[in-house]
Structure 1
Amino acid sequence: MSRPISPRLHGIIDYGLLMMWAGIPRLLKLSPRVRNVFTAMDAAQAALNAVTDQHYAVRRIVPFPVHGRIEKYSLPLYVVLPLAAGAWGDRRSRAYFLGAGAALLLNFSLTDWDASSAGA
Structure 2
Amino acid sequence: MKPITMKMHGYLDYATVLVFLLAPGLLGLEGLSALVSWVLAGVHLIVTLVTHFPLALYPWLPFRVHGWIEKSVGPVLVLIAFLPGFAASFAFYLFMGLLLVAVAWLTDYSEGPTRGLDASR
TM-score range, shorter chain: 0.7 to 0.9
Instruction: Label 1:74 to 1:17 Cα distance change in 2 as closer, same or farther (>3 A).
Output: closer
Amino acid at match of 1:10: H
TM-score when normalising by structure 1: 0.82
- Segments of structure 2 that go 5 or more residues without pairing to the other structure are 114-119
Question: What do residues 70-110 of structure 1 show as CA deviations (whole Å, max 9, x unaligned)?
Answer: 222344543455554721x22xx111112211221121110
Match of 1:31 in 2: 30
Residues 70 and 101 of structure 2 are in contact (CA less than 8 Å); yes or no, is this contact kept in structure 1? no
Cα-Cα RMSD: 2.0
Equivalent residues, number: 115
TM-score when normalising by structure 2: 0.81
- Segments of structure 1 that go 5 or more residues without pairing to the other structure are none
* Percent identity over paired residues: 29
Residues 77 and 93 of structure 2 are in contact (CA less than 8 Å); yes or no, is this contact kept in structure 1? no
- Counterpart CA distance in 1 for 2:81 and 2:30 is 11
Alignment of 1:1-120 (within 5 A): 2-75=1-74, 77-81=76-80, 83-84=82-83, 86-87=85-86, 89-90=87-88, 93-116=89-112, 120=121
Could you say which structure has the greater relative contact order, defined with CA pairs below 8 angstroms and 6 or more residues apart?
1
Residues 71 and 101 of structure 2 are in contact (CA less than 8 Å); yes or no, is this contact kept in structure 1? no
- Counterpart CA distance in 1 for 2:62 and 2:74 is 19
- Counterpart CA distance in 2 for 1:70 and 1:50 is 14
